[in-house]
Amino acid sequence: MGESLGADWARAWIIASAEVLADNRVALITLDREIGDGDHGENMDRGFQAALIRLDDLPDTATPGDVFKVVATTLISTVGGAAGPLYGTAFLKASLAVGAAERLDGPALVLALTAARDGIVLRGKAESGDKTMIDAWTPAVDAAAAAVEAGASPHDVLRAAADAAERGAEATEPLVARKGRASYLGERAIGHRDPGAQSSALLLRAAEQVAGAAS
């Protein structure tokens, strides 16, 4: 896809995300059962399967922002628990950040990722170190921005984001949760990975893999 990514990439990202979330549904349920209410895997799987159906309604002239907006509204309306509003807000803010652009270069991807992260912060009031999905998103945003500064291609920008998100998700394991249901567990949450950080890492890796497959 060269030096920019279009709606074909955005659609393929959501398709790949739905697949990886279905494949990891049980694993995410298990993570959430350990420190939450056990519904994260089910909710994410249901939300992205619903988004797949809605994608079929988009015209061929749709932009990446249009794709993000459809995903946002679908997640907000179909996903229960905290995940729907958080991820829905993330995709909505990303849609607004990229506007009507037909293709996204590295800086535009950073804008989208930053807006998504800031949307999650706005909705969830979490900070880095709180043992939430922010612990995956903030390193991802920082790594993507650094990659752009170094002149990386869009694929490499997304690879940097995904790598950092995976490290961030792993780094939630020793943390005491300060937000969400896991915060009620106190030190008993230590040793468990945050399911939202893990699903965030899965989504960002899907974005990178799709970009790489078509570049």
**Residue 145 pLDDT > 60, yes or no?**
yes
Residue 138 sits in which domain range?
A: 7-213
Please check whether residue 23 lies inside any domain of the structure: yes
Q: Which residues pair with 5 in a beta bridge?
A: 104
Task: Name the residue with higher pLDDT: 49 or 80.
Answer: 49
| Helices 40-55 & 83-98 angle (0-180, nearest 10) | 40
In a domain, 2, yes or no: no
- Could you read off the pLDDT of 147-176 as tens digits, one per residue? 999 999 999 999 999 999 999 999 997 765
Which of the four pLDDT bands, split at 50, 70 and 90, describes residue 77?
very high
Please tell me whether residue 25 adopts helix, strand or coil conformation.
helix
- Count other C-beta atoms under 10 Å from residue 191's C-beta: 11
Q: Is pLDDT above 60 for 49?
A: yes
At 74, give phi and psi (nearest 5°).
Answer: -65, -45
12-32 confidence digits (pLDDT tens): 999 999 999 999 999 999 988
In a domain, 150, yes or no: yes
Summarised one tens digit per residue, pLDDT across range 80-102 is: 778 899 999 999 999 999 999 99
Residue 184: pLDDT band by 50, 70, 90 thresholds?
A: very low
The type of residue at 215 is S
45 found inside a domain: yes
125 within a domain of the structure (yes/no) = yes
CATH of the domain at 39: 1.25.40.340
Q: How many distinct structural domains can be found in the chain?
A: 1
**How far, in Å, CA of 181 to CA of 128, rounded?**
17
User: How many Cα atoms occupy the beta-carbon half-sphere of 16 within 13 Å?
Assistant: 19
d(CA 198, CA 212): 21
Assess if residue 1 is contained within a domain.
no
